[in-house]
Amino acid sequence: MYQNILSVVSTKGGVGKTTLTANLGAYLADQGYKVLLIDADVQPSLSSYFAINDVAEFGLQQLISNSTVTPEMVASKIEDNLDIVISDDPNGELQNWVKNTPDGRVRLRGILRQRFNNYNFILIDTQGAVGPLQEATVIAADKLISPVVPDKLSATEFLHNTTNMLNRLAESASWLGVEIAPLYALLNRVENTSVSKHYSEQIQQMGFEKVCRVPVHLCQTTIPRATVWNDAVAQQMPAHRIEKTSSRKTGSALEIIASLVEETNILGDRHV
C-alpha cells in the first residue's frame, strides 16, 4: 500500500498545528484514504479534537518505545478511514526515552514504515518546542508542514529556531543515511490588517535557501483567521464538512484544504 508520513512542525506553540493536522487528516479520510493521526504533543489537544468511538489499549508511549507494537495496540478509531494514536505522556517522559535510547530518534521512522503500512497517510501533530521527540517526528516524515502566523514572534521563530532545528537534523541524520524531508511553510491565521499583510510580505520575501539546508517551499495557499475553524472544534467536526462554499477571497474551508493538498503534492511521490 502507498504510504506517506507528514509531520506538522514548529518550534513555536500556538500557531495552529493541531487544527491543521486534524482538518488535513479528516479531509484525506473523506477522499477514501486510510489515515492515522498521531498526537505527539504532551498537551493532548489532537487526542480530544474528534470524538473517539473505539479506544485502543495503548497510545503514544507504546508506539515510540515498544519495538513490537502493532496498529491494533495503539490505533483508536474515530470513524471509517480515520484512526488516532492518542497522547498518553503528560509528564514528557518520552523525551528522555528518545534521548537516552541508541536508536531513539530513528525508531519511529522504522516502526511506521514497517508496521503501519496499512495506512495511506500518517499525520503527526507535534509539540511547539525543540527536543528529541520532535526530532524523531521530523526524521520519520516524508513531508514537513509548518504553519506560520504572520506576526513578529512567529516569523522570527520560524526563520531562526525552526530552520536551525532542520539544519542540525539534516547534518546528523545524513550520518544515518536519512535525508530530512522538504518543508512546506504555510501562512496561517492571516488577517486583513496592515500588520498581518506586512509580515506576510516579509515571510514571502525570505530567502530560505540561504538559511536552511532543507528545501523550504512557501505555500501560495493561505489559511485566514475565520470562525469556521473554531466552530469545527466545538462540533468535533472537520471544517470542510461545515463550510463548503464561502464568499472569502481565500475560499471556503473545503477549498483551502483541497488547495493545500494539491499544492504540497501530498498525493504524489513519497520522500525517500
Which residues contact residue 268 at a Cβ distance below 8 angstroms, ignoring those fewer than 6 apart? none
N-term to C-term CA, the chain: 16
Any idea which residue has 475565520 for its cell? Answer: 226
DSSP run (H or E) holding 22: helix 17-30
CA angle 236, 239, 244 (to 5 degrees): 140
Summarize pLDDT for 32-82 with one digit per residue, the tens.
Answer: 999 999 999 988 999 999 999 999 999 999 999 998 999 999 999 999 999
Summarize pLDDT for 130-156 with one digit per residue, the tens.
Answer: 899 999 999 999 999 999 999 999 989
Strands (E) located in 99-257: 121-126, 143-148, 183-190, 216-218, 223-224
The CATH topology of domain 4-263 is Rossmann fold (3.40.50)
Summarize pLDDT for 197-210 with one digit per residue, the tens.
Answer: 999 998 888 888 88
Q: Answer yes or no: is pLDDT of 99 > 80.
A: yes
C-alpha R_g of the chain: 18
Which residues contact residue 175 at a Cβ distance below 8 angstroms, ignoring those fewer than 6 apart? none
For the question of whether the overall pTM of this predicted structure is more than 0.75, the answer is yes
Give the pLDDT band (50/70/90) at residue 2.
low
What is the DSSP-derived secondary structure letter of residue 54? B
Question: Cβ distance 140 to 112 under 8 Å?
Answer: yes
Task: Quote the pLDDT of residue 209.
Answer: 83
Q: Answer yes or no: is pLDDT of 270 > 90.
A: no
CA angle 22, 45, 58 (to 5 degrees): 95
Q: Which residue has the higher pLDDT, 98 or 175?
A: 98
Give the pLDDT band (50/70/90) at residue 1.
low
Percentage of residues in the chain with pLDDT exceeding 90?
A: 84
